[in-house]
Structure 1
Amino acid sequence: MAEAGRGSGKRPVGPRLEELLNELQTRINTVRGTRERVYNLLDAVLTVGRELDLSQVLRRIVETAVVLVDAEYGALGVISAERESLSEFLTVGMDDAQVARIGALPEGHGILGELIRHPEPLRLAEISDHPASYGFPAGHPPMHSFLGVPIRVRDEVFGNLYLTEKRGGAAFDAEDETVLATLAVAAGVAIENARLYEEARRRQRWLEANAEVTRALLSGDAEARALELIVSSAREILQADLGALALPIPGSDELQVVLAVGLEATAHRGLVLPRVGSFMGGGLRRS
């Protein structure tokens, strides 16, 4: 869907989680559909809450949303830090060839941007009838009906769920909107839980790395070995392509990269950089 016209295995409990769960219960009680649909909604709420890896949580949310409201296409857009565009866009319903034909992922214009600017549920029988719609890129499948809802985490909009093409040619109805809004509340709880879990895992990895470096120093390992361990551990924990260590060159205003680990490490070792105007020099001034 493109722009038409956002360690331990224990599950941490974050702030306001109980309040969010109460809201979720209230929304579930408003669904007046068949028993099967209510069951499917409850199952969906449990499903999105089982994952602890954030990327898997996001994928599971949009996959579940498509099934719940019987949509042919679905997407989840994550809103950027600037709050004006999309930084991530996960899709369901289009194969790799279709995605490749469409080209660059949407950034949040048109109907998609409408939910960024106005984070409230939006339901349309015909996308092209909305003033914010300005068409689809070449290679994009036709889409008519639309349903979008925001996902909030800690009272801040994290992203939006976008569903299009209700199967059978019908339009999305008010109950579809209620069901999707309920899933969005569950999604907010799951995203917050995954974030807390990842934060706990990251803290644990830093503690383990610190202990490993301490053991290396106490055991009499060479300084170079300890420094390499520090850089390697930091690169792994931060999931960086490259980790490098630069030291000041005595009697000059320059730095030299004495250690590099990861992508193109060989090309970076030995580089001489100015203290002023370089990324590493900037880091030294802030330390």
Structure 2
Amino acid sequence: MSSVAHLRTRAQIEASRFPALLARAEHLAGTVLLGDHGRRRAGLGDDFWQYRPLRAGDSFRQIDWRRSARGDEQFVREREWQIAQSVQMWVDPGASLRFSSHKDLPTKADRARLVALAAAVLLIRGGERVGLTGWDLPPRRGDAQTLRLAKYFSDEGEDDYAEPESRGMLPNAKALFVSDFLGDVAPVEAALTKAADRGVRGVLLQVLDPSEEAFPFNGRTIFESVNRTLRYETLKAGELKERYLERLAERKARLDHLCRLTGWQHFTHHTNNTAQSALLWVYRALDGSQG
């Protein structure tokens, strides 16, 4: 096959991925019944939200006399807060996420992209602006934006581990970082520190394969990175389990501590659990990280 034909074939394969990803994300978003987004609260805006009883401190000019005339109590007409929030996302494109320990399990990358895009679908439906960190895709609304996000999420990096992109983060925005966070933790610390300095609060979703949590290896084992740039062979894999689990626990504790210092939240999701469980946590965490 010529180089041109090979490139065309690869381009067609890559182009076919993001419409399918978007369809799955929209289906996943549709299975999660969350009601109205958390931005619905009293404040400045044009749309009617609710009536509530008159409280101490309210102005008489706020009273809705037509509604109050129906009974003995006086009611205030509240309008919905209309300020849309910007949410910026980073989904790790590194090769380490293209790992799955079993043919019946999704890769970490597949689960990371699916949950992030489904969260974007829900947020955009709720009136929020969603985009990427960095400069390539600023936060916007609309169905066209979810298609753009699907395209970017389908891109794959060449390195085993990617560093979080923290440039272009808008002051006081929210953020979602999705990765296995098994690479160098220093860039993660730098990104969250920079985000916190700009008033950005967000969530770290750590996606792991169940084998990475259980370490079910014994005897002669060859450990190799997805890109085959790292390789380690041992005859006694079982003797590494305790030390490995200690290192993993230390990494999780470090991420937890970092999130507490910067006002973020950290959650570990395993690919043998449902995507809905991860989506619910992400959506509620983003909604709860306001202010």
Asked if these proteins are the same fold (TM beyond 0.5), I'd say: no
TM-score by length of 1: 0.24
Structure with a larger share of its residues in helix: 1
Larger Rg: 1
What TM-score does the superposition give when structure 2 sets the normalisation length? Answer: 0.24
